[in-house]
Amino acid sequence: MKSSVIHLIPLATLARCLGISLPPLIPSIPGVTEPLNQLVPPLPILQVPTPALESPPFTPSNIRPKKIGYFWTGAGDKQHKDFLATYSLDDDTFGTLIYVTDVPSSGNDPHHLGPSLDGKTLVGGGLLSLLKTQDTAFYFDTTNPYRPAFLKSNRALLSSIADEIRAKPGGGFYITYMGSAVGTSPGRLVETDADFNIIHEWPEDVGSVLNILGEQFSPHGLSIDWERKLILTSDFVEPVTILKPSLGIRRANTLRLWDLDSKKILSTITIPNGGGIQDVKFIPGNPEGAALATAVHLGQVWIIYPQRKGPNGKPGVAELLFDLGPKARDTTAIYSDISQDGRFAYFTLTTANHIAALDISDLNNVKRLDNPDEDQPTIGPHYVKITPDQKHLLVTDYFVQTGEIGLINTPADFKALYIDILDDGSLHFNRTIDFSREFANRGGAKPHSSVVFDLTDPEHPLYY
């Protein structure tokens, strides 16, 4: 059964048809929001926000593994409730489903997932929640790590399309929202308090707001250097342009460097012809506070030096670090993770069905650890996370499938790959969890992202 779709119906018209009153999605901000009337096109497609079907029954497991994998997952039929799946990652019980935690809605296309620093909360974003006018951020109580409970959900007023997540030391989160309230540019950097209420949608100062209105601002990647008090966000694609009707996907070539304390944008850093800068991450321990950024069209890894001055006198210099080769070009998505010692970096090349590994211990002599021509046992790899013990790579084989309403439908086998990291940083493919088979009673399942809890040392639990 296909979901009902309404073409080109404004929210106000839908509200009148339903006999309800909806407040404006975007509050008036003098001098800021007036230009949006001329800049933003109407949202092309809205889906009827029908109630989600209840999840089929399942039998919880009472095992208590030391290593736990949480997977933020969409129901394959887009009608059953989306959910958080909790699995064992221990050797002896690997792949055992422990628990399923539903959220109240469906069709969100669950996106990224992140933990609080104390491990008591997870937050997951919804990529397509906007199309059903649903909340876009979903919070889970993991005080009992074996029985996560749905806590709450919310949405921002100025922005939508939740992406990357970073926990704040005092509680709460920073979250990149790639689009505006109607899925266009500009998006925002959203901040919550310790109770997970949205308290800011950055930037808020006039200069930085003019910056994001001046050119495409679609923040996806997010990395924070707490010591140097710097934030880097990377601009990927304008979300509304991946939906039909579209004149083509608008991909960005820029990153923004922010001051952490004031949340002012210090500079815009450009990777020429980057064609979507999907991800950025600071390199642990780098003496200059450098970061790696992925340029999707180019199939390249660039290094960002945030404290070096560019020709314009502003901070932030981008230099090519490594070309991943012809098979990495235009692979729709390139996402990354870096080992805690800063030695190894891993990159998922989604439509190339490949995971690349680099030794970056010497940035002047980067070494490739994988064979770019090897056929790896993965289809559509995207979200990648190094486990807290640095011994495994956890990859989920699903990026985005918009179906008949959109332009991006990447192949996927909907598996979680648990890959061994060898001493030299290279990879050995080992075990998988098959979500299509496990959740066949709801049309399969689409796991996009993961979080790992390592409770091996009860006195020093690790959450990542």
Q: What is the pLDDT of residues 29-73, one digit of tens each?
A: 555 555 544 555 555 567 777 789 999 999 999 999 999 999 999
Helices (H), 83-214: 206-214
Residues of the chain with pLDDT under 50: 1-26, 36-37
Quote the pLDDT of residue 29.
57
Quote the pLDDT of residue 180.
95
Going from the N-terminus, what domains does the chain have, and what CATH number goes with each? 40-463 (2.130.10.10)
Containing H/E element for 11? Answer: helix 11-18
Radius of gyration of the chain (CA): 21
Q: Which residue has the tokens 């993770």?
A: 337
Sign (positive/negative) of CA torsion 296, 298, 301, 304? Answer: negative
Quote the pLDDT of residue 290.
98
Single pTM value for the model: 0.90
Q: How far apart are CA 381 and CA 346, in angstroms?
A: 12
Q: How far apart are CA 291 and CA 302, in angstroms?
A: 8
The one-letter amino acid code at 120 reads K
Q: By C-alpha distance, which of 93, 127, 100, 102 is closest to 112?
A: 127
Q: How far apart are CA 291 and CA 355, in angstroms?
A: 20
Render the burial of 113-146: b for 16+ CB within 10 Å, e for the rest. Answer: bbbbeebbbbbbbbbbbbbbbbbbbbbbebeebb
Contacts of 228-231 spanning 24+ positions with Cβ under 8 A: 228/289, 228/306, 228/307, 229/259, 229/260, 229/261, 230/257, 230/258, 230/259, 230/260, 230/289, 230/306, 231/174, 231/189, 231/257, 231/258, 231/259, 231/260, 231/263
